[in-house]
Homo-oligomer: A and B are copies of this chain.
């Protein structure tokens, strides 16, 4: 069983978290999903309280570590020594992914030095200011590090994870229940091309 960790903090963006959590959480074989944070629960931007399954330091034990976003939450977490010092990540043995401003954590940790990345278009200037080369792409993959921009890019990020851990069939399986009725071919082509064009 692979272990997938999703990292949250106060004022995380609802949809960025819930979309990843639900897509990945429907799978009860093959991997487990843990939601990690610095507190027993964190509140979302819209006021949802989400319980964590453990402290963020447990990211070190995960095969996959995913970071949610947050317009207010990310800057606060970046400034939190407890949060940042707990982020022992290793892209040589872990798959690392972020949605929207989640890529700021990778930037702060130096993981985006010399590689390009993406984020939500509204957050691009702030990521550029951190010294990162930012592309206007839904997904940018450099080895084991994938950054995604725009909430629905969760589709591509989770699809990449399923393909890296298993294969395309697994990717289709985890998305099957989400795809609009009658549009399986449209979305399959969109997801496949978005992942393929993301690899640097």
Contacts and interface: CB of A to CB of B under 8 A. Distances in A.
Interface of A: 14-15, 18-19, 21-23, 25, 46, 48-50, 118-122, 136-139, 148-153, 155-156, 177-183, 186-187, 190, 194
B21 A19 contact: no
Contacts of A186: 190
Q: Which 10 A-B pairs have the closest CB atoms?
A: A138-B180, A149-B181, A18-B18, A15-B22, A150-B180, A153-B180, A151-B178, A14-B22, A136-B182, A150-B181
27 contacts: A14-B18, A14-B21, A14-B25, A15-B19, A15-B22, A15-B178, A18-B18, A18-B19, A48-B48, A49-B49, A120-B177, A120-B181, A121-B181, A137-B181, A138-B180, A148-B180, A149-B181, A149-B182, A150-B180, A150-B181, A150-B183, A151-B178, A152-B178, A153-B180, A153-B181, A183-B194, A186-B190
Contacts of A138: 180-183
